[in-house]
Amino acid sequence: MAQYLKPVLKKVEPEFGSSFVLRDFYSGPQKPFWHFHPEVELAYIEKGKGKRHVGNHISYFNEGDLIMIGANLPHYGCSAGLTGDNREIVAQINESCFGNGFLNMVETSSIDDLFEKSKLGLSFYGNTKAQVGERLKSMFHMTSFEKLIELIKILHLMSLSDEYELLNATGSSLQVTGDDNHRIDVIYDFVRSNFESKITVDEIAAKVNMSTPAFCRFFKKSTAKTFIQFLNEYRIAHACKLISEESTSIADVAFECGFQNLSNFNRAFKKVTGKSPSAYKQELKRVVI
């Protein structure tokens, strides 16, 4: 029987008197975990940098972020690995909180479209990110009724915006069936701790007590990519971080990220980001891969 990478189902419970979750986090680096939930998640990171993994998408984000993650889309905690002081505001919304038929109305059709697009993961930027961030912060001083109205206004604003990028543009999300929470934790913990060094498929297969052929089939069927593709994307996300934050040479970045030679690094970087490392360094802009 085929096995799958299975994220943990996370139970989301609104506070008494509210039909959706709104939380304000001031946190440092923390251990993430691979999870999903039926609620749509809106995460605004006012300050901070780090890596994000949503569905099949891995990238590095810089100077804050506004992400919308669709229902049941597996992801690692967006705040994982943030550096320095940071603040994250998270809203988790079950579509049922608006009542039956709400999203089928003519007036809310754009919000319904927004929820549909969020199944691929959305990253907002520009004025949309700034406006939504400020409005989310203001909600903590509102009554429960005012919060609900403001949430609808925020979703409407986002639904009309063109300042967004799809995170999982292939439309392929990870399988959420099966019974393999331990294996996925082992794989991600090992890559996160050892990506700077050489990692072979045989080595990672042994870590999860599988033969190499079985592991390759398992990983490809579960993620729609090979383990080497996943590993290279993780390394390139870290390379983007180093290039954005430091004056390190491209060659040094390549070796710090686990690539054995500069040619392989340049080829992998362009395949993932669509540009060469030197072009990215000159642009110094936020990368979504």
Q: What is the pLDDT of residues 106-148, one digit of tens each?
A: 999 999 999 999 988 999 999 999 999 999 999 999 988 899 9
Looking at the structure of the chain, the number of domains it has is: 2
Q: What mean pLDDT is predicted for residues 229-233?
A: 87
The whole model's pTM is what? 0.62
What pLDDT does residue 75 have?
77
User: Contact 45/78 with Cβ under 8 angstroms?
Assistant: yes
The rounded distance, in Å, linking the Cα atoms of 54 and 34 is 9
Whether residue 171 lies inside any domain: the answer is no
Q: Are 244 and 133 within one domain?
A: no
- Residue 101: pLDDT over 70: yes
Helices 262-273/227-245 angle, 10° precision: 90
Q: Are 144 and 205 within one domain?
A: no
Q: Which range has the worst mean pLDDT, 67-81, 180-194, 237-251?
A: 67-81
What pLDDT does residue 265 have?
93
What's the longest Cα–Cα distance across the chain? 58
The rounded distance, in Å, linking the Cα atoms of 164 and 122 is 6
Confidence at 83, pLDDT banded by 50, 70, 90:
very low
Q: Are 155 and 196 within one domain?
A: no
CA distances from 85 to 29, 48, 79, 213, 288 (A): 9, 7, 11, 44, 23
Range of the structural domain that residue 20 is part of: 8-166
- Residue 30: pLDDT over 80: no
Closest C-alpha among 253, 286, 283 to residue 268: 253
Whether residue 219 lies inside any domain: the answer is yes
What pLDDT does residue 280 have?
83
The rounded distance, in Å, linking the Cα atoms of 119 and 166 is 10
Confidence at 16, pLDDT banded by 50, 70, 90:
very low
Q: Are 127 and 19 within one domain?
A: yes
Closest C-alpha among 32, 15, 11, 16 to residue 24: 15
Closest C-alpha among 48, 137, 57, 54 to residue 90: 137
Whether residue 175 lies inside any domain: the answer is no
Whether residue 2 lies inside any domain: the answer is no
- Residue 256: pLDDT over 70: yes
| CATH number of the domain to which 33 belongs | 2.60.120.10
The rounded distance, in Å, linking the Cα atoms of 69 and 63 is 19
Which of 166, 201, 228 is the C-terminal boundary of a domain? 166
Single-letter amino acid code for the residue at 187: I
Q: Are 50 and 75 within one domain?
A: yes
What pLDDT does residue 193 have?
86
Q: Are 116 and 186 within one domain?
A: no
Which of 105, 137, 166 is the C-terminal boundary of a domain? 166
- Burial class, 12, CB count within 10 angstroms (exposed 0-12 / middle 13-18 / buried 19+): middle
User: Contact 188/16 with Cβ under 8 angstroms?
Assistant: no
Whether residue 174 lies inside any domain: the answer is no
Any residues with CB less than 8 A from the CB of 284 and at least 6 apart, and which? Answer: 243, 244
Which of 166, 200, 232 is the C-terminal boundary of a domain? 166
- Residue 99: pLDDT over 90: no
User: Contact 59/76 with Cβ under 8 angstroms?
Assistant: no
Q: How many residues does the chain have?
A: 289
Single-letter amino acid code for the residue at 10: K
Confidence at 288, pLDDT banded by 50, 70, 90:
very low
The rounded distance, in Å, linking the Cα atoms of 172 and 155 is 24
User: Contact 55/75 with Cβ under 8 angstroms?
Assistant: yes
Q: Are 53 and 122 within one domain?
A: yes
- Residue 202: pLDDT over 50: yes
Q: Are 124 and 257 within one domain?
A: no
Between 34 and 93, residue with greater pLDDT: 93
Whether residue 173 lies inside any domain: the answer is no
Whether residue 1 lies inside any domain: the answer is no
| CATH number of the domain to which 189 belongs | 1.10.10.60
